[in-house]
Amino acid sequence: MKSARMQKKAGNNVMGMIRAAGLGYEYLRYEEEGQEPEVTKAIEDVSLEIQKGQFIAVLGHNGSGKSTLAKHINALLVPTEGTMWVDDMKTTDEEDVWKIRQKAGMVFQNPDNQIIGNVVEEDVGFGPENLGVPTDEIWKRVEESLTATGMISYRAHSPNKLSGGQKQRVAIAGVMAMQPECIVLDEPTAMLDPNGRKEVLRAVRKLNEEKGVTVILITHYMEEVVFADRVFVMDNGKLVMQGTPREIFSEVEKLKELRLDVPQVTLLAYELRKNGVDLPEGILTIEELVNALCH
């Protein structure tokens, strides 16, 4: 019923670019032979809406269903319950799968698993080449996306000589060259050093701010979430919290219960408040804390 009603509304451009209604995904686990397989629900009854151009962060402990949710956005997985729409296309409609994958590109955790070219620019050109883009246009896109991620000076380098952060930016450029409207990043900084993390975050924020690309960032680093427009928190396959970073990080105790954390500056402000210092809730940056303490 619910999905039929939502379908009628589809086509209306005011609605979000990515929408999930009652989304569920179960898989069967086979134990011994002859035994009934066990049903495991990776996500359950998730409904959400993401507008074009938004920067979204997704938090949740290991096994909370974040990655399963992310894989639904570009139809790597299709729901066993409910519906996922990407730009009004249902991910369950097989004829739309390739269009959906062009709209929503994905970047994974390990940069070494995602790079296939021997030269940086060839790697970035692989995606558009597969889409049948004309050669001149491929080179144009390669140049544009390497410039956007700050990797243009490495275009003739071999990817295996790059640092982790640089490889991840090549992977992001490879996705950008397919000109998606939305990019899903599944813990892109988990394996990087502090500088690599900064480089990747800067590149992603730039794509969002300057090119209007919708960003969905899955991360365990709370500091990376501060700049998001909206935060979704997953637990046991369910969407349990959503709001602005300030709203989410005001709930220090609740996040700890969910095996999560808050940025260290937020935690310090929270500890000071507990000790009677007059500070507003949900402080997110060093500047905010310094201003609040000194004025």
Residue 235 near other proteins by CB under 8 A: no
Q: What is the DSSP string of the chain?
A: -HHHHHHHHTT-TTS-SEEEEEEEEEEEE--STTSPPEEEEEEEEEEEEE-TT-EEEEE--TTSSHHHHHHHHTTSS--SEEEEEETTEETT-GGGHHHHHHHEEEE-S-GGGT---SSHHHHHHHHHHHTT--HHHHHHHHHHHHHHTT-GGGTTS-GGGS-HHHHHHHHHHHHHTT--SEEEEESTTTT--HHHHHHHHHHHHHHHHHH--EEEEE-S-GGGTTT-SEEEEEETTEEEEEE-HHHHHT-HHHHHHTT----HHHHHHHHHHHTT----S---SHHHHHHHHH-
Residue choice 18, 57, 241, 289 for contact with other proteins (CB under 8 A) = 289
Is residue 177 within 8 Å of residue 149, measured between CB atoms? no
Burial label for 132, CB within 10 Å (0-12, 13-18, 19+), is exposed
Q: Which is nearer to other proteins, 125 or 237 (CB)?
A: 237
Residue 202 near other proteins by CB under 8 A: no
Residue choice 193, 209, 212, 254 for contact with other proteins (CB under 8 A) = 193
Residue 294 near other proteins by CB under 8 A: yes
Q: For residues 99 and 28, what is the distance between their CA atoms, to the nearest angstrom?
A: 29
User: Which residues 109-128 are close enough to bind other proteins by CB under 8 A?
Assistant: 109
Q: Which is nearer to other proteins, 5 or 295 (CB)?
A: 295
- Which range binds other proteins by CB under 8 A, 12-20, 145-153, 244-252, 259-267? 259-267
- Which range binds other proteins by CB under 8 A, 82-90, 98-106, 112-120, 219-227? 219-227
Residue 58 near other proteins by CB under 8 A: no
What's the closest the beta carbon of residue 186 comes to other proteins, in angstroms? 11
Residue choice 37, 93, 99, 293 for contact with other proteins (CB under 8 A) = 293
Residue choice 89, 191, 226, 240 for contact with other proteins (CB under 8 A) = 191
What's the closest the beta carbon of residue 197 comes to other proteins, in angstroms? 8
Q: Which is nearer to other proteins, 15 or 279 (CB)?
A: 279
Residue choice 127, 164, 180, 282 for contact with other proteins (CB under 8 A) = 164
* Cα angle value 82/183/196 (rounded, 5°): 130
Residue choice 35, 62, 113, 160 for contact with other proteins (CB under 8 A) = 62
Q: Which is nearer to other proteins, 144 or 281 (CB)?
A: 281
Residue 63 near other proteins by CB under 8 A: yes
Contacts with other proteins, residue ranges (CB under 8 A): 29, 60-64, 109, 163-165, 187, 190-197, 220, 222-223, 256, 259-261, 263-265, 267-268, 271-272, 275, 277, 286-287, 289-290, 293-295
